[in-house]
């Protein structure tokens, strides 16, 4: 039923929220939802208007934004902390989502609001 499908997709969405910094793949997420990979992908996109991969990327970028704004970690450390393996792909994705590279974003948001930052 639609209710059962929504429950399964919500379980997978909650799992993504809890594990977005880890290596997630379609097979694993579809197992969490107890659906075939194809059915899971299609149903997730139809239900939440975003693919599972784009949802993971969105969560990672949002977390990276917060870290860039509030912490003094290097871009490379933040890249790894949020689940990206490659700094260049992280920078490219970040720029496409935020409109600026991570370093430029950090400078802009800190200068804009005069934020004091925690070490590490």
With bands split at pLDDT 50, 70 and 90, how would you rate the model's confidence at 24?
A: very high
Distance CA 9, CA 25 (A): 15
Asked whether 104 and 75 are in contact (CB, 8 A), the reply is: no
Its pTM surpasses 0.85: yes
pLDDT digits (tens, 9 = 90+) for 86-101: 999 999 999 999 999 9
* Nearest by Cα to 82 from 112, 11, 35, 97: 97
Distance CA 44, CA 1 (A): 15
**Is the per-residue pLDDT at 117 higher than 90?**
no
Q: What is the mean pLDDT of residues 47-55?
A: 97
More confident residue, 107 or 113: 107
């Amino acid at each position: 039923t639609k209710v059962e499908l929504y429950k399964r997709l919500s379980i997978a969405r909650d799992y993504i929220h809890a594990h977005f910094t880890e290596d997630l793949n379609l097979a694993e997420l579809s197992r969490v939802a107890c659906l075939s990979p194809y059915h899971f992908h299609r149903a997730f996109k139809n239900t939440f208007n975003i693919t599972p991969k784009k949802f993971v990327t969105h969560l990672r970028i949002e977390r990276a934004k917060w870290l860039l704004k509030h912490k003094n970690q290097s871009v490379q450390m933040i890249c790894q902390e949020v689940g990206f393996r490659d700094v260049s792909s992280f920078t490219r994705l970040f720029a496409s989502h935020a409109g600026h590279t991570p370093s430029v974003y950090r400078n802009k948001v800190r200068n804009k609001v005069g934020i004091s930052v925690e070490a590490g």
